[in-house]
Structure 1
Amino acid sequence: MCDQTRIRTQDLDIPATFIPQIAKLQDMEHNNWDECLDAVVFAYNTGTHSTTKFSPFELQFGRKPRFPTDFPRPELTFSKPNDYFAQLNKSLKIYHKNVTENIFKQQRLSKVKYDQNRQDPHYDIGDPVLLRIQGSRSKLDPRFHPTPKIIVKTQHPTYFVKDEDTQEELKVHVNDLRAILDAKLH
């Protein structure tokens, strides 16, 4: 989106999932994004989410949403007003159970997909490695400290590395290490 829209929405807490939808609906001058917000929120709340397999509306109210284009549904009658509350709680428990199962299933699938492309390097004591620079940096800044560290203890995926100059020892996760391919360090 353009800077003008970003400026006008920066004080509001608009979920990141809404921004692309608002960008599609707003006019060319980018000054009517607030008019699109209700439609975007409605679509988000009534649309089926890929992870949960349900809409937020269903999870909140225990039933499918009714749209203006839907035919009127037959009315449900309960012998006591409390019967509605009991039925709602029963429906919500079923929804939440299914959502929990769907989320776990999606998490397992995501992990399998992630692990297929992930390298799992193992290091030995004495191996020289580079340590990732933590914190914010610009795109062109180096990602790893130029001074090599030496592995002094292994508990994969956690490693203890030592700086030979300062004798400082650090506990580091394997994701923050890179092997040095060239054996010539000095």
Structure 2
Amino acid sequence: MPLPVPTSPWLDISMDFVLGLPKTKKGRDSIFVVVDRFSKMAHFIPCHKTDDASSVAELFFREIIRLHGIPNTIVSIVMLSFSVIFGDLFGINWALNCCLVQLVTLKPMGNRGDKNLRRWEDCLPHIEFAYNRATHSSTKMCPFQIVYGYIPRAPIDLFSLDAAETPHIDAVAHVEQMIDLHAQTHQNIAAANAKYQVAGSKGRKHITFAPGDMVWLHLRKDRFPTLRRSKLMPRAAGPFKVLTKINDNAYILDLPAEFGVSTSFNVADLKPYVGEDEELPSRTTSVLEGEDDEDINYNTGTSTPAAPPSSSLGQSLGPVREI
């Protein structure tokens, strides 16, 4: 399900991190990327991979709030110590990779390639300007035009200046132009989201849950690293009760506090639990003092699922213990 279409620039933003880059002279090895979801304008902020939440918050205030104010919503795929949701930054890594390739191929003799590769921080302002001046596939306009009402001049424009792309002197005409631009941008984003939704829903089974339903939770490695350290560890946990339905795509679960993560999950990570209506059995088995595994009586007296048909292989394994 696509996110709601924003209505104005820099009220709804998304952010992400590009990690693992070569260290620059200033010791930076990552990029803090912040994108306006309406105009698609982006800021590429160099940072360190080891920056904590307070350092990121300081960068956010200095580079984003200083210029655009405080947003209404923040969409992100990273788990920080302040409120985040879910985000998408398609296309930004492509622009950065293109620049890095050009840096390496300038003079790839000796160690020049590695030296040029470490100059990516010096190129970020140029990348940001070029990105914000390029036409975006969703809005059909460039971010500068949506935010400012005109396209800023580049060095190549010094040779010929088109008067039609200069700012309007008349304030009323400028306001009307901005209103028309934002309305057209909103329509273009809505049309693009509808197109992406149709493409993304192909072959996908639509499942919805209601508060009180029991579900299995898929343990993703990036969200539960301690629970997925080995291939032999369980890939799912639960069942857990659905507390709140945010929408058809997101739910809040009754997750134990020891998991240490947000309790909201995408429907793609949930599967319906089909079990008894009675109280769920405990995961642990009570053992009395002095007993060993052979002394435990596994027959609790409750109904058990029917055993599978017997086979020659099953008969050769000996008697089956009732659970």
**Scaled by the length of structure 1, what TM-score is found?**
0.62
Confirm or deny: 8 A CA contact 2:132 2:142 kept in the other structure.
yes
Unaligned runs of 5+ in 1: 77-81, 162-171
Tell me the distance in 1 between the aligned counterparts of 2:20 and 2:271: 38
Name the aligned partner's letter for residue 19 of structure 1: L
1:103 aligns with 2:189: yes
Q: Which residue of 2 aligns with 1:4?
A: 22
Quick one: distance in 2 between partners of 1:2 and 1:122? 38
What is the CA–CA distance in structure 2 between the aligned matches of 1:3 and 1:74, rounded to whole Å?
41
2:160 paired with 1:71: yes
What is the identity, as a one-letter code, of the residue corresponding to 1:104?
Answer: A
Distance 1:21 1:64, change over 3 A: same
What residue number does 1:164 align with? none
Structure with greater helix share of residues: 1
Q: Deviation at 1:2?
A: 5.7
> Matched residues in 2 for 1:24 and 1:74: separation?
36
Amino acid of the structure 2 residue aligned with 1:71: S
The answer (yes or no) to whether the contact 1:25–1:36 under 8 Å persists in 2 is no
Distance 1:133 1:5, change over 3 A: same
The corresponding residue for 1:19 is 96
Amino acid of the residue matched to residue 8 of structure 1?
R
Q: What is the distance in 2 between the residues matched to 1:89 and 1:75?
A: 16
Aligned twin of 1:59: 146
Question: SS of 2:181's equivalent?
Answer: helix
* Structure 2 counterpart SS, 1:108: helix
Aligned to 1:114: 200
> Cα deviation per residue 1:140-171 (whole Å; 9 max; x = unaligned)?
453213x7x599xxx9x68x99xxxxxxxxxx
Counterpart in 1 of 2:109?
none
Identity over aligned pairs, percent: 18
Matches within 5 A, 1:17-166: 17=92, 19-27=96-104, 28-29=113-114, 30-67=117-154, 68-69=156-157, 71-74=160-163, 84-121=170-207, 130-133=216-219, 135-137=223-225, 138=228, 140=231, 141-145=233-237, 149=239
Distance across 2 between alignment mates of 1:50 and 1:86: 29
Give the C-alpha shift of residue 89 in structure 1.
1.3
Q: Is the alpha carbon distance of 1:105 and 1:132 closer, same or farther for their aligned partners in structure 2, counting shifts above 3 Å?
A: same
TM-fit CA distance, 1:97: 0.5
Match of 2:271 in 1: 177
Aligned length: 163
Letter of the 2:153 counterpart: R
8 Å CA contact 1:131, 1:178 repeated in 2: no
SS at match of 1:116: coil
Q: CA deviation at 1:120?
A: 2.4
State the TM-score, normalizing by the size of structure 2. 0.39
RMSD: 4.4
Higher deviation after alignment, 85-94 or 44-53: 85-94
Q: Secondary structure at the match of 1:88?
A: helix
Q: 1-side partners of 2:240 and 2:186: how far apart?
A: 44
Structure 1 residue 111: deviation in Å? 1.1
Q: Could you tell me whether the CA contact under 8 Å between 1:63 and 1:91 is conserved in 2?
A: no
